[in-house]
Amino acid sequence: MASSNIPETITLPWASDFHCHLRQGAMMDTVTPMVEQGGVRTVLAMPNLTPPLTKTHMAVEYGQKLQKLAPNVHFILTLYLNPDLTPEEIKKAAEAGITAVKVYPSGVTTNSDWGVLDFKIYYPTFAAMQEHNMVLCLHGECPSDADKGICILNAEERFLATLRELHEAFPKLRIVLEHATTKAAVDCVKSLGDTVACTITAHHLFITVDDWAGQPHHFCKPVAKFPTDRDALQQVVKSGHPRFFLGSDSAPHPRQAKQGEKPAAGVFTTPVLVPLVATLFEKLSCLDKLEGFISTNGRAFYQLPSLGPEDDSITLTRSAGWAVPASYEVQDSANTSDKPDTVVPFMANSKLTWSL
C-alpha cells in the first residue's frame, strides 16, 4: 500500500488475540478490562496460573471471573497439559466448551515448572483431543540444556522436530505453534498441513536480540532472535498466509519483577495491541493484510464465526502524535504503600502512527 493511498481512518472487525496472559488477583483485575482498549473482543486466555488450570472446573471458574471483568469479550478457555489430563477429562472439557490445551515444556517460561518432559506419554490425551476437535497449543521450545547444546537462542528450532512428529502422529489434530520467533519455525509451519498454524506476537514483529539484551521490558520467552528471523516473520504476515495470525503473548509483570536481579519473562501489549500492529503493517506497506492477521485467519482456524458488517467494529485513526503510556497502575486495594505497583507496556513513551 503506497503512502499516498493510506487512509486517515480504517474500520475493521474487532480483533481476536489467540494467546494472552490475563493473570490472577490485582493484575487480572487491572489488565482484563484493557482487552477492549487494545481493540480486541476475542481472547484465548492462558492457563499457566498458580496453581495452573489443570481441571475443567478450574478453567470454567476462571472464565467466569474474566467475564465479570470484561462482559463484552469472548474468552476462549484452555487447560494446562499435565498427567491428570486424561482422555476422560478431555471429553469433559470439550463438553464444557473448553477449546484448547496448552503445552509448556518444563521450565521454559513463567509458571512452567509443571510442564511436559515426555510428549509420548500424552499420546492418548492428544488422540482424545483429535476426536473431540480441540486445539493443541504449543510453547515451541526445548528446555535449555548445555550438555545437549540447547540455549534460548536455538531452543525453538530444536523443538521443530517434535512439532513434525506430533503432526505426523495426529494429522487431524489442530495444532498451533505459538509465538514463533525464527525463520525455521515459519518455514516448518508452511511446510506442514492445513491443521498446523502459527501465532505471531506484535513485539516479535518489531524487535531482535539487540532490543531485549539490557532492556528488561522487552525480555520475553521465547526471546526475539536475529534480524533474518524478524524479517521472516514480517514477510509471512505481509504475504497474508492464512495459517499465521495474531497471538499477542501479552504477559504483564509488576515493574519491580521486570527490573529486578533476574527479570521476569514477558512483554505487555494488551492495551495498545491493534495500534501496534497497524503501525508495523503500515511500515511494511501491507495494511490490506491487517484484517486477516488480527481477525479472519485465526477465527477460521479456531472455527469461530466470521465477523461481518452486522457486527460491531473498531476504527483506527492515523495519529502520528499518539504515544504509548509510560506505565499503567495496578489496581490493588490490598497495597497500602505510597507507591502502587505499575506495569510498563511495550514501546512505552514511543509514538505510534495509529490509535483507537
Crossing angle (nearest 10°) for helices 183-191 and 155-169: 10
Q: Of these residues, 55, 139, 203, 221, which one is catalytic?
A: 139
Q: Of these residues, 19, 183, 225, 253, which one is catalytic?
A: 19
Note whether 327 and 255 are within 8 A (CB). Answer: yes
Q: What is the DSSP letter of 294?
A: I
CA distances from 285 to 67, 153, 226, 237, 241 (A): 36, 29, 22, 11, 16
Q: Of these residues, 17, 29, 229, 249, which one is catalytic?
A: 249
In the annotation, is 225 catalytic? Answer: no
In the annotation, is 249 catalytic? Answer: yes
Q: Of these residues, 17, 29, 55, 102, which one is catalytic?
A: 102
C-alpha cell read off for 333? 486495594
C-alpha cell read off for 131? 476426536
Note whether 156 and 180 are within 8 A (CB). Answer: yes
Q: Of these residues, 167, 179, 217, 289, which one is catalytic?
A: 179
C-alpha cell read off for 87? 482422555
Q: Of these residues, 21, 167, 218, 289, which one is catalytic?
A: 21
In the annotation, is 132 catalytic? Answer: no
Provide the terminal-to-terminal Cα distance of the chain, rounded to the nearest Å. Answer: 21
Q: What is the DSSP letter of 42?
A: E
Q: Minimal CA–CA distance to 44: which of 76, 79, 81?
A: 76
C-alpha cell read off for 256? 519491580
In the annotation, is 190 catalytic? Answer: no
Q: Which residues are catalytic?
A: 19, 21, 102, 139, 179, 249
